[in-house]
Structure 1
Amino acid sequence: MPSLAEADAEYAALCERYVALAEEHAQIIREADVLEADIRERKAPAIRPEVAELIGESVDTSLFQRPQRLRELRQRAANLEQAREIVRRHRDDRIGRASLLACNIAKAEYGKRVAKFIAALEAAKAAYDEADALLDALEREGAQVGYMPPARSIFFADSDNGLQRFIAEARSNGYDQ
């Protein structure tokens, strides 16, 4: 049976896009967490690189770039989160169409399986009727069938039974092939 993604290329594309956004979001969050921990561990020098150069000292300029990079990562994470939510809504909106396509693909196979089930039920009903006829014949002869406790089924015994309703419903839905 086809998955929704197999049945509908647009649904599949939305699912793939959602996963890609989620993976990138997770990666960005990890990178931001590492950078934030680094900022806490390695403090930037108290003087700016330009001032350090004027007095003849050298400082690691990358330490000053980290807060800006952290802001960029946090902004990217927020954008990714918003994009994921939009793609999720689009994907959810597409489920109905994808479901219809998947059901259309699966309907013939489902019909075959229901038809097999109906045939099995009809065979079971015929076998039940044969067993029940034996009990009826014994009772007509006056036998006390209590010495042979019957196995009676409500499902098959009632004249307005669920079996006939099920078969009729299945057939009305086109599942009798």
Structure 2
Amino acid sequence: MGEVIDKVYKPHVGEIHNQDLDYIYEKDNYEKDTSDTNAASISFLFTYNDKCIAFLGDAHAEDIIDDDNEILTKAHIDFVKLPHHGSPYNVSEELIKFLGCSKFIISTKQTVEKKTIARIVHAVDKCTIYCNYAWFSRNSYFTNNDKEKYIKTGKLIMKELIRDEFWKIGDEND
């Protein structure tokens, strides 16, 4: 039935959202970003009150993982602002594993392609994704199977940050 719906329903991001995260992960074939503009993007670590956030701009996953990247290799990263609004062309499973972090920030008003979320939940045991908009609550983004396996078990926590809440994300309850 899902394949029939897929042929009719085409979300604006070119991703099929009515499929389970596991199905999307099984069919996933990472394609890297080839944009020269994004390759020139600035990434940096920001540390404040013993918390370290990696701001990855629009960088290519492969450039972040680069063997010569001693700063990221040695850093303990508490939060990662995912590159290019969480684009699956900039977020590989290898990148998620390399960063060794389970708290992610996605800054976008648009719906994020589900490939990105599928890669995250398969790369870490438990994760929290902070968003500046609740795009994940629209259009039945998560299937019933996704909700049972990931949301209800706490393996995936999705949070919309509203104004001052961002500064609370370092609390032990998050």
Larger-gyration structure (1/2):
1
Normalised by the size of structure 1, how large is the TM-score?
A: 0.20
Q: Larger relative contact order (C-alpha < 8 A, sep ≥ 6)?
A: 1
TM superposition score normalised by structure 2: 0.20
Hey, which of these two has a bigger chunk of helix by percent? 1
Structure with higher strand content: 2
